Every structure is written in C-alpha cells, then in structure tokens.
Amino acid sequence: MHTASLNDDLAIHGRPARSDGCNEGPWRLWVDRPEGSDTHRIQPFHHNFHEHPLMALPRLARLAESLWPKGQCRFMVPEATDATPLSSAFRLRSPDGRHIDEVFRHLDEPDSWVALYNVESDPDYRAFLAEVIAAARSSIGQAHTGIFRVCGYLFLSAPPSVTPFHIDRENNLWLQLRGRKTLTVWDRQDRDVVPAEAVEKFILSGSLDDVKLDDSMRGRGRTFDSGPGDGVFFPSTSPHMTRSDTRWTSPGDGVTVSMGVVFYSSETLRDARVHLCNRSLRRLGLPAAFPGRHPWMDAAKAPVGALLARHRKVWPDVSAWSYFPEGH
C-alpha cells in the first residue's frame, strides 16, 4: 500500500480526536495512562473493536472465503510449538485438507488454526484498519510519522494453540478480539534475545533462520494475558509469540481471535536504510553500528542506504526490495 492511498483512507474513514482524548463515533482505542504513552516501547492498551460487526465470526468466514482463492489463508501444523521455526510452521492448505468453509464450521475443534493474511485487500477491512490507525494516533501517540503499508492479519484458533517466536519488520497494534490469549513480547533492543546480525539478515533478506527462542531468555519477556478489548503495541523487530490454553473455554465459546494491525513508518524505513548501508560498510572491512546506537551516525547512513536501494543488482542477497519505497 502506498502512503498516499493510506492518507486518503485516513481522511475518509479516520475519526478526529475529541478534547477529552476519546474518538468521535463508536470505535475507540485508549491507554490507562496517556501521559506515559511511548511508541518506541511495548505499550498495552484497550479497545472496543471486538464489538465491530466485521469481527463477527460469520463475517470473518465470508472474508476467509474471499481470501482463499488468492492464497491469503495460512494454517499451522498441529505439532508446532512456540519454538518451531515460523517458516516450517505454516502451510497453504489445512492439515486435514479441508476447504476454508469447512475449516470455519469446525473452528472450535482442537488443532484448528487459520490466519487470514493482508485483509486490507477487502475494501471493508481496509476501512477497518484505517479506523484502528486513526484511533491509535490520538491515543497511543504521534511519534510514528510517514505511516505507510498498513496491513491486517487475523488469527483464529481453538486452544491449545500457539504462534511461534518470531520478529516482524512492521510496527504492530495487536488486538485481542475473542476468547483469551497470552502474548509474550521482548524488548527489541535486547541483543541477547535476538542478535543484531539476525535482525539485519531478516530486515534485508526476510530470513528468520537465526531468530530462535532461547529457553534461558523466556523470563525477559513481558507477558500479557489478554481477553476481548485488550491490546498491545510493540515496535518493529520486537520478538514475540502467543499461546492459548483451554482454561477459559466453555461450550459454545471455544474460539480465540486476535489481529495484528501492522505498519511501516519513516523510522522503520530509516532503520532499513541504515542496515543496508551497514552491510556495505562491512564489505569494505569497516565497522558498522546497529541502528539506534548512534543517532547522528544513522542520520548520515540513511541517505547512503537510500542510494544503495536504487541499485538492486549490486545486492543479489537482498530480497526485501518491496520494503523500500525506492523499490516501487
């Protein structure tokens, strides 16, 4: 999604902030301590988007049917754990070969797990994402500027279920919509959890091969036991995973639904350009500090990275060109 089209969406669907800090209209997103909001760190919040009609299971089933032919549905292998590599945990077809409508009819059965990718391809859900972004801007903070490529990912499952440990390029507004789920998030700057080299490799090449859960690091994560109306914001490359167990389930209430509303910003773009510059510096045998360690140095590296991004043939090992606006 291009920046201009997102801005158009916000102008049409976004709701202006009221003087009392709430959003006009029925859909809200708020924090307990607005004065402590900071989009550079992990931030819990509350919302009422779980009451939105687009989040009702029958409507989500219709969405899934429209996404199925486009290959935008993913399924988790039943044996996956929180330490399973993400690349080997997902499948394009359900483990038992069911069609997507059949999957939804049996969604409350054990081992049921489906993710709906890039829901913004549906106009109704694209407008929904714009609502969430508008609410977040006025409630969590304005630090993220130049927002572009807002995408939505829905995760539906019957516990016990997991989403394995991984990192994302995007910033993430994670919303719990139905049932209960435990989200664990680590500080994106904790290099003991995910090494700097693994982050750069993922940003530039999309590989999660070196992003692995270390059992000794579990205690460093922040855990959020979340129900409908709870949410957590976490910045780009924050390690995270989810888990849902059966303790909260009851007859007729055994499906958990969560959503990641993810987006790039001018900050994530700057960091990606710095990573690209760093790779060039190391090829020349020069030291290269990780983004964020020396802001003045990042300011000098980012324009160099932007120039490098315009010469793709020099970088055959970089596969993430769609991440850079220069690659449009």
Domains of the chain: total: 2
- What is d(CA 234, CA 171) in angstroms, rounded to the nearest whole number? 6
249 in the same domain as 301: no
292 in the same domain as 192: no
236 in the same domain as 150: yes
pLDDT digits (tens, 9 = 90+) for 134-181: 999 877 765 556 788 899 999 999 999 999 999 999 999 999 999 999
The pLDDT, as a whole number, for residue 72 is 96
302 in the same domain as 240: no
The pLDDT, as a whole number, for residue 325 is 60
Structure-block tokens of residue 18: 């009221």
For residue 79, how many other CB atoms are within 10 A of its CB?
9
Looking at 264, 291, 314, the residue that finishes a domain is 264
pLDDT digits (tens, 9 = 90+) for 83-118: 999 888 988 888 888 899 999 999 999 889 999 999
For 314, list phi and psi in degrees, rounded to 5. Answer: -75, -15
151 in the same domain as 113: yes
Looking at 225, 248, 264, the residue that finishes a domain is 264
- What is d(CA 21, CA 139) in angstroms, rounded to the nearest whole number? 7
The rounded mean pLDDT for the chain is 86
CATH number at residue 8: 2.60.120.650
pLDDT digits (tens, 9 = 90+) for 309-321: 877 656 666 666 5
260 in the same domain as 274: no
- What is d(CA 184, CA 161) in angstroms, rounded to the nearest whole number? 14
Give percent above pLDDT 90 in the chain: 64
The pLDDT, as a whole number, for residue 5 is 33
**Number of separate helices (H) and strands (E) present in the chain:** 8, 13
48 in the same domain as 10: yes
The pLDDT, as a whole number, for residue 15 is 36
297 in the same domain as 180: no
The CA-based angle 177-180-185, given to 5 degrees, is 90
168 in the same domain as 294: no
The pLDDT, as a whole number, for residue 179 is 97
Higher pLDDT among residues 4 and 97, named by residue: 97
- DSSP structure class, residue 81: -
223 in the same domain as 134: yes
- What is d(CA 33, CA 51) in angstroms, rounded to the nearest whole number? 23
239 in the same domain as 157: yes
Do residues 60 and 156 touch, judged by C-beta distance below 8 A? yes
Tell me which of 32-36, 236-240, 295-299 is least confident. Answer: 32-36
215 in the same domain as 139: yes
Looking at 264, 279, 296, the residue that finishes a domain is 264
For residue 13, how many other CB atoms are within 10 A of its CB?
16
For residue 42, pLDDT over 80 is answered with yes
For residue 25, pLDDT over 80 is answered with no
Range of the domain at 80: 3-264
The pLDDT, as a whole number, for residue 87 is 84
For residue 259, how many other CB atoms are within 10 A of its CB?
27
